[in-house]
Amino acid sequence: MNCDPGNFEEGIRLTFLGLKESASARDRRAAMNNLCAGYAALGSYDAAIHICNIILAKNERDWRAYNNRALAYMGAGDLDHAKSDVNKGLAINPGSKNLRLAADLIDERLVAPELKEAVFRW
């Protein structure tokens, strides 16, 4: 996978163009989730969170939006909100590999500072 920021920017541009066309609610939700993920990947966490908030205001059971918003919160350093979103997503879709991976990443970041502090006290 090519993680060149230009690819994410182009994906966001094309997604906005696609949203101008009439599409089903499902397609629009998928496009909005792609926007949220794209902005999170670019480090535009506020934009990502805003878009996921729009998705969740329309459908509070969209586990992908919880996953994407959790990643945006994690990138922004807000691990408490990230963990909460992962837990909400897992309550909806407990078998999601993406949510499990996000949960593991968040747990690593939550535990790491405690381990470092314990090592320094030892």
User: If one looks up domain 5-121 in CATH, what number appears?
Assistant: 1.25.40.10
Residue 10: which pLDDT band, with cuts at 50, 70 and 90? confident
Which range has the worst mean pLDDT, 50-54, 85-89, 90-94, 113-117? Answer: 113-117
Amino acid at 41: A
pLDDT recorded at residue 7: 73
Q: What burial letters (b/e) apply to 105-117, b meaning 16+ CB within 10 Å?
A: bbeeeeeeeeeee
Q: Is 29 left (phi over 0), alpha (psi -120 to 50) or beta?
A: alpha
Residue 21: which pLDDT band, with cuts at 50, 70 and 90? confident
Average pLDDT of 81-107?
96
Q: What is the DSSP string of the chain?
A: ----HHHHHHHHHHHHHHHHS---HHHHHHHHHHHHHHHHHHT-HHHHHHHHHHHHHH-TT-HHHHHHHHHHHHHTT-HHHHHHHHHHHHHH-TT-HHHHHHHHHHHHHHHHHHHHHHHHH-
pLDDT recorded at residue 40: 92
Average pLDDT of 92-118?
85
What is the residue extent of each domain of the chain? 5-121
- 69-79 tens-digit pLDDT: 999 999 999 99
Q: Phi and psi for 80 in degrees, rounded to 5?
A: -65, -45
Average pLDDT of 4-31?
73
